[in-house]
Amino acid sequence: MSNAYRIAVLPGDAIGPEIMVQAMRVFDVVQRHRDVAFDLIECPFGANAYFSHGKAFPDETKAICDDVDAILKGPVGLSHEESQKIPVEEQAERGAILPLRARYNTFANFRPIFLSPDMAHFSPLKTEIVKDGLDILLIRELVGGLYFGEKQRGTNDKGLRYVKEVLEYDETQIRQVLEVAFEQAMQRKKRLHNIHKSNVLMSSVFWNEVLDEVHADYPEVEVIHLLVDAAATAMCLNPAQFDVMVMENMFGDILSDQAGGILGSLGLMPSACIGPDKAYYEPSHGSAPDIAGQNIANPYSMIGSVAMMLEMSFGMNDEAQAVWRAMQSVFEDGFSTPDLSNDDNAQLVSTDVFGDKVMAKLDELLADS
């Protein structure tokens, strides 16, 4: 066997295990057609891990994740009511996701915003805006800013309750994600939108100063500066103007969810979280507890996260492209799942059947290549 890879699989909560089952099937299909083997190791992670192990990110999961080549993570979290049964510090985001990012310094979050012309009907935007499809790469800084800054709650000397959260970046944190963004821009259209709020925030002024320094190493790239509020509007009115976008942590969190709305669902947005030594891959959406167990969740973003892993962690570019083509062909053939489609002409199928159709097409594509 020429290549063998070990992968930690974190199924997550609610719909997570349902869509993860479909994503894991990709590895079986690929290794049938290629000289490669995948060792998939399932680990507890998230709210269910707290209930079974007392920790949202158990020590045994950390040990396995430390030792594997890549991590595949499903969505985590429960309903608001169920989450109240978990201590605040162990709720999925604080107790699992943020520690995962910090442990492996996954500073660059890649979120592809893609619609083929045949998938444009999923978007709620006017047909003339998205009829030619979309192909945008949003890059979000993932381990700095407000989400990782000092947090404090208390009562001040006036007897008023208060909260304080610190937005902090050092130049290395900013520089490393900007270098990634410029590299991606060089590989694409050599155009980079820098999203900031320098008219108000000193952190954005500093961000832009570091960007100017990095830009000197990439003179071929056109940089377009855009305030984050203006960017939110532009993404609705003319999303096709964007190619590569880069921004700090909270701006990226918000705008990437808006991008999911532009696509018609966050269920169409996989992501990659890249660090210097390890990466993890996950859907951009939440765990959708309201539809869990109904076999109606579309696995596109979970399967797409596997495609990103194949390309970015294992260098299997052709196989990754085959996965994308397989999924898009299922949509092009008129199939969708109930959670995703607002098209009266779509033939609605279950999560399992959608997965069956993707795997059948992927098998065919890999057999022919």
- Cα gap 167→201, rounded to integer Å: 10
Exposure of 162 by Cβ count < 10 A (0-12 exposed, 13-18 middle, 19+ buried)?
Answer: exposed
The residue annotated as part of the active site, out of 229, 290, 318, 352, is 229
**CA–centroid distance for 364 within its chain:** 27
Cβ distance 264 to 342 under 8 Å? Answer: yes
DSSP structure class, residue 94 = I
Half-sphere exposure at residue 161, Cβ-oriented, CA atoms within 13 angstroms = 1
Number of H helices, E strands in the chain: 14, 14
Q: Helix (H, G, I), strand (E, B), or coil: what is residue 276?
A: coil
Q: Which residues contact 16 (CB under 8 A, 6 or more apart)?
A: 46, 74, 75, 76, 287
Exposure of 46 by Cβ count < 10 A (0-12 exposed, 13-18 middle, 19+ buried)?
Answer: buried
Question: For residues 148, 254, 83 and 304, what is the CA-based torsion angle, rounded to 10 degrees?
Answer: -100
Helix crossing, 317-332 with 300-312: angle to 10°?
160
The residue annotated as part of the active site, out of 69, 118, 257, 343, is 257
- Our answer to whether residue 257 is catalytic in this structure is yes
**Which amino acid is it at 35?**
D
The residue annotated as part of the active site, out of 118, 135, 253, 363, is 253
- Our answer to whether residue 13 is catalytic in this structure is no
The residue annotated as part of the active site, out of 55, 197, 357, 361, is 197
Q: Which of 362, 263, 367 is closest to 322 using CA atoms? A: 362
Cβ distance 141 to 177 under 8 Å? Answer: yes
- Our answer to whether residue 28 is catalytic in this structure is no
- Cα gap 35→314, rounded to integer Å: 13
The residue annotated as part of the active site, out of 5, 50, 104, 147, is 147
Cβ distance 142 to 251 under 8 Å? Answer: no
Please give the positions annotated as active site.
Answer: 147, 197, 229, 253, 257
